[in-house]
Amino acid sequence: MNQEKTARAEGKTELIVDARWLREHRDDTSLILIDTRPVKDFHAGHLSGARHFDPFPFHHTDTSERGVAEFGAQLQWIFSALGITGHETVVFYENESGMRAARGQWALEYAGHSKARMLDGGLKAATGETLTTKVDKFAATDFALSPRAEVLATYAYLLDRIGLPDVQIFDVRSAEEYFGERVRAKHGGAIPGAFHQDWMAALGADGTVKSPAELRAQFEALGLDPAAEIIPYCQGGYRAAHAYLALKIAGYPRVRNYLGSWAEWGNRDDLPIEHPRRK
Amino acid sequence: MPPILMLAGFEPFRGERINPSWEIARRLDGEVIGGLQIKSVRVPVGCAKAARRITGAIVRYRPRAVIGLGEAGGRPAISLERVAINLADERGRLVKSGDPGFTPVVRGGPDAYFSRLPLRAIIGELDRKDIPASVSLTAGAYACNALMYAALHSLRRTPCLPVGFIHLPYEARQAGRHRNLPSMALATMENAVRIAIAATARSAR
């Protein structure tokens, strides 16, 4: 089982690491662990040496040029405060392969870091690890922001491409949100032409991300074309960050997280909306 | 930056290597005619795709005028479409069974919109330049109609902005594949489109 899991994880992508990799690299001085759970969970017990960053309070749904610049400045501050230099391997974790850790990974990758990772399966999978309440000291850095625009989509980027066959918009909210039964913005509905599948479909029962082959089959059955650029979105760009990872694992080379997601699109009055109906 | 006139052209389809609508839109991209800067938009062939694409582009670029161009192989002249209907024959049912079905372009939208281009002025100008042109009462029920309908629908609250659609015959290079059908030189069609844009720009003031 362990061997099979390892082989699976190795096939995934370098964007995620598994519990065995973590064991093997635990003493690596160039490894930084980031605990993305709520702060009280962190203080109740975390992986030793881990630093804390819960991405949930850092909503950012304005993808105008100015908004994206502000997002970058915010990330620069956060990653500097976390003592990240840009040379180390940074592993984000939570209880399983969830959206918090994925958002951390995606945000650091967007900020220009080349070794941002998520711990597959999170604490649930890291069974050999004992948790500690001791918080280690570390020095803040001056993180150099170098945004990778190719992993982020803005509303204007989407507007320019809606309807084009080589760009596919991927709604990963719940079915209730997609079909407008649960409205979490001024308007209900979906971005025109979006494909839909709940982000949770990318997770296995054990809380790890499904294998590349499983994900690939699942996405292709949905109609997502590996030759196209895929733009996942959700409500706030967290579940979509997870979908970003899942798509990368499945071997989709061009993926952008729509940072603004429905919190931006559905709150504006000028953007086109479709109202999908259940069949 | 001058205000924008959005000029939409379709991708080649049904095995054609070119589509005169995109050939012309592409050539005029960035030019300023009658004080309006042309922003060309390449549109995929399909009702839903075309409607979504033009709607997104309109929101993005906030044009002062919109002209859609499309290919109507077999028509002998430049056709200025008068009306767009809320009917999307996505699967070609009209060809297969004679009945286009009832799928709308926009759910809940009105049955039809009329062109908001200065048709009489355009026809007059084209007549003077001896370019054959006529007003058409149907843009079909496929992608061209869907684009025209979606553009008119998304700009329904600004009725003073000119919006419409022009169908083009086959281009001369396509004539070899369609020996018994009329075609027109690309340069002539380009000239016609320039004339239509200039007349539209005058009406947009």
Say yes or no for a CB contact (<8 Å) between A164 and B107: no
Give me the residue label for tokens 């844009």. B197
Give the domain CATH number at B134.
3.40.630.20
Q: Is-contact B83 B181, C-beta < 8 A?
A: no
Residues in A whose CB is inside 8 Å of some CB of B read: 156, 158-165, 192-193, 270-272, 275
For residue A161, the distance in angstroms to the closest alpha carbon of chain B comes to 7
User: Are B52 and A162 an interchain contact pair (Cβ–Cβ within 8 Å)?
Assistant: yes
Picking from A159, A163, A270, the nearest residue to B49 by CB comes out as A163
A104-129: b (≥16 Cβ within 10 Å) or e = bbbbbbbbbbebbbbbbbbbbbbeeb
| 3-state percent breakdown (helix, strand, coil) of chain B, nearest 5 | 35, 25, 40
Task: Specify burial of residue A74 (Cβ count, 10 A radius: 0-12, 13-18, 19+).
Answer: middle
Q: What's the alpha-carbon Rg for chain B, to the nearest Å?
A: 16
Alpha helix (H) residue ranges in chain A: 2-12, 19-25, 39-44, 65-81, 99-110, 122-125, 155-159, 175-178, 212-222, 239-249, 261-265
Which residues of chain A are within 8 Å of residue B44 when distances are taken between CB atoms?
A: 163-165
A6-20, B151-165, B178-192: which has the minimum mean pLDDT? Answer: A6-20
Q: Across the strands, what pairs with B84?
A: B113
Query: Is the domain defined by A2-148 classed in CATH 3.40.250.10?
Result: yes
Tell me the C-alpha distance between A32 and A44, whole Å: 20
Candidates B60, B105, B149, partner chain A, best to mutate (most A CBs within 10 A): B60
Check whether B16 has a pLDDT greater than 90. no
> For chain A, what is the radius of gyration of the CA atoms?
18
Rounded Cα–Cα distance for residues B115 and A163 (Å): 23
Q: How far away is chain B from the Cα of A169, in angstroms, using its nearest Cα?
A: 12
**What average pLDDT does this structure show over A157-183?**
96
Amino acid at B170: Y
- Residue B96 class from Cβ within 10 Å (0-12 exposed, 13-18 middle, 19+ buried)? exposed
- Do A2-148 and A150-265 have matching folds? yes
Residue B68 CA, distance from chain mean position: 3
Domain count, chain B: 1
Model pTM score: 0.90
Query: pLDDT per residue over B27-62, tens digit each?
Result: 999 999 999 999 999 999 999 999 999 999 999 999
Fold of A150-265: Oxidized Rhodanese; domain 1 (3.40.250)
CB contact at 8 A, B20 and B12: no
Q: Would you state the pLDDT for residue B92?
A: 82
pLDDT tens per residue across span A175-189 = 999 999 999 999 999
pLDDT at position A1, please?
40
Tell me how crowded residue B131 is: count the other CB atoms within 10 A of its CB: 17
Q: Under DSSP, is residue A229 helix (H, G, I), strand (E, B) or coil?
A: strand
* DSSP H or E run through B51: helix B47-61
Are A59 and A259 in contact by the 8 Å Cβ rule? The answer is no
Q: Domains of chain A: which residue ranges?
A: 2-148, 150-265
- Given a cut of 70, whether residue A6 has pLDDT beyond it is no
- What confidence tens digit (pLDDT) does each residue in B127-142 have? 999 999 999 999 999 9
Range of the domain at B166: 4-204
Q: What interface predicted TM-score (ipTM) does this complex get?
A: 0.83
Report CA-CA distances (Å) from A277 to A41, A43, A176, A265.
40, 45, 11, 19
Q: Which residues of A touch B50 (CB under 8 A)?
A: 163
Residues of B annotated as catalytic are 81, 144, 167
